[in-house]
A and B are shown apart, each in its own frame.
Chain A
């Protein structure tokens, strides 16, 4: 049974560009959350998707947007990239918050 799958694993972008990260949740999971993790810090909540709608959002600017598809997979889009957006982006899925979360291996984004 595949867990949470994220793609790509690494990418390098130039400041000002746009990027799309992808996540396939674990089988049976319908809720997807995205996190940003800077070096040496704990993950910071970006937003959560459920039934194709953004259910809650963290303290991130509108440059960060997302989407959930009918098959529960999700995308994270970041526009007008800044150097400070360089981080590990983690996707987590769950069949419901009370059941805890399963995380993917992350996408390492470097903005130069």
Chain B
């Protein structure tokens, strides 16, 4: 049974800082892992999708890495901006099924 954990639960940083969000999963036999952003009361916006054959994906100031052997993924945000303030969620598939398991998220606040 897949379990996904995100650390830290909340993070407050000054504008301009580079930061790393962590995601760990218990079942490493995943075919992909997806990172999302959620603004308060809104739906989820997909940021990056990493396939199991890939080690990382980049989009603008975002870089996500995947290490299946250790059951970890990290989301790196470069030069953070106040507009980056949101909750960041990672999600991994449940092995042998079609269920996607989410972590509880990291709430990020970037101070101007």
- Co-complex (A, B): yes
> Which residues of A pack against B, CB within 8 Å?
4, 6, 31, 33, 35, 40-45, 48, 50, 55-56, 58, 88, 90, 92, 97-106, 108
Give 8 closest A-B pairs by Cβ, nearest first.
A42-B102, A100-B49, A103-B44, A105-B43, A45-B99, A56-B98, A106-B43, A42-B104
Report chain A residues within 8 Å CB of B36: 103
Apart from the given pairs A48-B98, A101-B100, 20 other A-B contacts in the complex at a CB distance below 8 Å: A4-B43, A6-B43, A33-B100, A41-B104, A42-B89, A42-B91, A42-B104, A43-B89, A45-B100, A55-B98, A90-B43, A97-B31, A97-B98, A98-B31, A98-B32, A98-B51, A101-B34, A101-B91, A103-B46, A105-B43
**C-alpha spacing A105/B39, complex, angstroms:** 10
A42 near B105: Cβ-Cβ < 8 Å: yes
Q: What mask results when residues 33 to 49 of chain B are scored 1 for a CB within 8 Å of chain A, else 0? A: 01010000111111001
23 A-B contacts (beta carbon < 8 Å): A31-B98, A41-B104, A42-B4, A42-B104, A42-B105, A44-B102, A48-B98, A48-B99, A50-B98, A56-B98, A88-B41, A90-B44, A97-B98, A98-B32, A100-B32, A100-B46, A101-B91, A103-B36, A103-B43, A103-B44, A103-B45, A105-B43, A106-B42
**C-alpha spacing A35/B4, complex, angstroms:** 16
Chain B: interface secondary structure? strand
Nearest CB on A from B31, distance (A): 5
